[in-house]
Amino acid sequence: MHTPHYIDGRWVEGLGDDCISVFEPARGQPFAELRAASVAQVDQAVAAARLALPAWKNTCPSERASLLRGFAIQLDQRREALLAVQMQNNGKPRHEAEIDLDDAIATFHYYADLAEQLPGKNRDVPLAAVGFSARTRLEPVGVVGLIVPWNFPLVTSAWKLAPALAAGCTVVLKPSEVTPLIEQAYGQIADTLGLPPGVLNIINGMARTGAALSNHKGLDKLSFTGSNTVGSQVMRSAAEQCRPVTLELGGKSAILVFDDCDPDQAVEWIVAGICWNAGQMCSATSRLLVQDGIADTLLPRLQAALQKLRVGNPLAEEVDMGPLTSQAQWHKVCGYFASAREEGLQCLTGGQALDRDGWFVSPTLYADVPTDSRLWTEEIFGPVLCSHRFSTEQQAIALANDSAFGLVATVCSADLVRAERVADALEVGHVWINSVQAVFVETSWGGTKGSGIGRELGPWGLSAYQSVKHVTRCLG
């Protein structure tokens, strides 16, 4: 904890003014403490990345691929230690922590494969004009800043770090101050693999550290995942520098259940969409749109399923849902419970904090929520589900699309032709049909409207860290 920052291939102590306390949310108690990086250390990290860029971007893609596979292997070898950190610092149940780790491992393997498939530096472009030749090059965008959130540490950083390194970029990674420990594994792995100094830099800190990085003139690109409030600030700084930015922001996603759906199967998909990671997901399907014909059957079964969930400390017992990750998030969710009471919403289950140590809240279901309610329109980031009935397919689509966000949606229907038709009509970046939220590295991730700019994962994740250069030559 005395040297939590990885700059230019060395572990160094923080010189900033902020002291970061790292909490175990299941107990509400700190278990580690570290000193934030100073603004000068942010400068040092960016300078190290800039110095390392020329050699790294000219490294053979197969060599970069080999190092990325090394990251995947090393993550797997650190499995038990990484799972323990996810469970202690995030409050994730073990089965969720395992999926997070496997996701990160798969991401590094996937981008290792893409790195090996990168075309040669030059590709001829056929021209209709006579007397000219043209070629195109895909080049790394340069030095990139990566700012990642606390709800899926290790995973979100893998989604950014692996394609950036595959493309030949050098990076400065800033983890969340809520969960600053697990990303240190990337620096340890870089040491083990002999990654050249400066290619990967990790700086920890609070808001002022993030601001120093996002405002830094030495970056060529910034990729940010987090809240819309901070994302808009990041976008302003990108505008001042006229540099590209990728933003993965919030969501208020809908799950649409049609009356031909098996109600028990629908309950499984609904619960997974709102209670995974205690609802702390930008993709949480927190708006339940249920057709009139199935509503009276579905809602009681859903109520019973939420009441049966085992909520507790993942380090002490086998649980289905852990605590909220931070006290600030606990206060925020409890504030929405208070708003629901003020609005007179019908609470079928939950709607309160649990009377125990730690930052626990009950899985919550509100019925017949008006579409102008705060709980219907605002991102809560907790296990809080609001339901609303619809009659027709057109009404369901209109209600689902009536949102400032457009990240994901889920469609539940036995009529697959209709399900596909509805999926095509939804104004979001990713749709699941009759499924839990299975995310595969080969697919894209990102949204429309207020849910962000750009895409991660798949080949789109790699292209986000590449720039296109054309060279045209007169043959005369």
Active-site residues: which are they? 248, 282
Distance (Å, rounded) from C-alpha 169 to C-alpha 201? 12
For 316-330, b/e burial (b = at least 16 CB within 10 A) is eeebbbbbbbbeebb
Question: How do 29-35 and 254-257 pair as beta strands?
Answer: unpaired
Residues 6+ apart with CB under 8 A from 77: none
Rounded to whole angstroms, the Cα distance separating 244 from 221 reads: 5
Residue/partner pairs of 185-189 with CB below 8 Å, 24 or more apart:
185/74, 185/75, 185/78, 185/81, 185/82, 185/154, 186/6, 186/71, 186/157, 186/161, 187/6, 187/11, 188/78, 189/70, 189/71, 189/74, 189/75, 189/78
Contact 198, 49 (CB under 8 A): yes
Are residues 369 and 376 in contact, defined by beta-carbon separation less than 8 angstroms?
yes
CA distance 325 to 183: 16
Residues 6+ apart with CB under 8 A from 376: 287, 369, 370, 386, 388
